[in-house]
A and B are shown apart, each in its own frame.
Chain A
Amino acid sequence: MLALFYIFIGVAMAVSIWQITRILDFRGVIANDEDNAKQGKYAIYFMVFLYAIMIYCLISLNVIMLPESASIEGEHDDRLFNTTFWLIGIVQFIMQFLIFYFTFKYRGNKNNKAKFYADSHKLEMIWTIIPAVVLVVLIGYGLWQWNNVMDIDDDEAVVIEVYAYQWGWHARYAGEDNTLGTGNVNYIKGINTMGVDMSDVNSQDDQQVTELYLPKGKKVHFKFRSQDVLHSAYMPHFRAQMNCVPGMVTEFAFTPKYTTEEMRMQSEVREKTKGINKIRAAKGEDLYEFDYLLLCNKICGTSHYSMQMKITVVEEEEYDTWISEQPTLATVIQ
Chain B
Amino acid sequence: MSDHHHKETFVTKYIFSHDHKMISKQFLITGMFMGIIAVLMSMLFRLQLAWPDTSFSIVEAFLGRHQTDGIMSPDIYLALVTIHGTIMVFFVLTAGLSGTFSNLLIPLQIGARDMASGFLNMVSYWLFFLSSVIMVISLFVEAGPASAGWTVYPPLSALPQAIPGSGAGMTLWLVSMSIFIASSLIGALNYIVTVLNLRTKGMKMTRLPLTIWAFFITAIIGVVSFPVLLSAALLLVFDRSFGTSFYLSDIFISGEVLHYQGGSPVLFEHLFWFLGHPEVYIVLLPALGITSEVISTNARKPIFGYRAMVMSIMAIAFLSTIVWGHHMFISGMNPFLGSVFTFTTLLIAIPSAVKAFNYVTTLWKGNLQLNPAMLFSIGLVSTFVTGGLTGLVLGDSALDINIHDTYFVVAHFHLVMGVSAIFGMYAGIYHWFPKMYGRMMNKKMGYWHFWITIICSYGVFWPMHFIGLAGLPRRYYSNTAFPMFNDLADVNVVITIFALVGGAAQIIFLANYFISIYRGEKAIQNPWKSNTLEWTTPVEHIHGNWPGKLPEVHRWAYDYSKRVDPNDDDSDYLHGQDYVLQTTPLLEGEEPS
Tell me if A301 counts as interface (CB < 8 A to partner B): yes
Interface size class of A (residues with CB under 8 A): 35 or more
Query: Is A247's CB under 8 angstroms from B262's CB?
Result: yes
Interface string of A6-36 (1 = CB under 8 A from B): 0011011101100110111111111100011
Query: Is B332's CB under 8 angstroms from A250's CB?
Result: yes
Distance of A4 Cα from B573 Cα, bound (Å): 55
**Contacting residues, chain A, for B570 (C-beta < 8 A):** 113
Tell me if A255 counts as interface (CB < 8 A to partner B): no
Distance of A293 Cα from B470 Cα, bound (Å): 13
Tell me if B538 counts as interface (CB < 8 A to partner A): no
The smallest C-beta distance from B593 to any residue of chain A, in angstroms, reads 5
8 Å CB interface, A101-115 against B: 102-103, 106-109, 112-115
Query: Is B369's CB under 8 angstroms from A95's CB?
Result: no
Interface string of B379-414 (1 = CB under 8 A from A): 001100110011011001111011011100000000
Query: Is B368's CB under 8 angstroms from A36's CB?
Result: yes
Query: Is A299's CB under 8 angstroms from B257's CB?
Result: no
Query: Is B458's CB under 8 angstroms from A50's CB?
Result: yes
Which of A84, A95, A109 counts the most chain B CB atoms within 10 A? A95
Distance of A320 Cα from B351 Cα, bound (Å): 54
Which among B162, B264, B303, B346 is the interface contact of A245 at CB below 8 angstroms? B264
**Contacting residues, chain A, for B263 (C-beta < 8 A):** 247
**Contacting residues, chain B, for A165 (C-beta < 8 A):** 252
Which among B306, B330, B375, B463 is the interface contact of A242 at CB below 8 angstroms? B330
**Contacting residues, chain A, for B467 (C-beta < 8 A):** 64
Which among B300, B361, B462 is the interface contact of A123 at CB below 8 angstroms? B361
Query: Is A297's CB under 8 angstroms from B404's CB?
Result: yes
Query: Is B343's CB under 8 angstroms from A139's CB?
Result: yes
Query: Is B516's CB under 8 angstroms from A26's CB?
Result: yes
Query: Is B354's CB under 8 angstroms from A301's CB?
Result: no
Nearest to A151 among chain B residues (CB) is B335
- What's the A-B contact tally at a CB cutoff of 8 Å? 432
**Contacting residues, chain B, for A116 (C-beta < 8 A):** 301-302, 560-563, 566, 569
The smallest C-beta distance from A23 to any residue of chain B, in angstroms, reads 5
Query: Is B497's CB under 8 angstroms from A4's CB?
Result: yes
The smallest C-beta distance from B387 to any residue of chain A, in angstroms, reads 10
Interface-lining segment among B90-98, B316-324, B486-494: B486-494
Query: Is A25's CB under 8 angstroms from B444's CB?
Result: yes
Query: Is B301's CB under 8 angstroms from A117's CB?
Result: yes
Q: Would A247 and B249 be within 8 Å (CB), given that A19-B448, A146-B342, A279-B489 are in contact? A: yes
Distance of A46 Cα from B456 Cα, bound (Å): 11
Which among A146, A228, A234 is the interface contact of B335 at CB below 8 angstroms? A146
8 Å CB interface, B520-575 against A: 520-521, 527-528, 558, 560-563, 566, 569-570, 573
Contacts A95-B356, A301-B78 known; list 18 others, CB within 8 Å: A13-B507, A16-B507, A23-B511, A29-B442, A40-B368, A42-B451, A57-B462, A66-B471, A103-B370, A108-B370, A115-B569, A138-B396, A143-B342, A143-B397, A185-B250, A185-B251, A230-B265, A279-B487
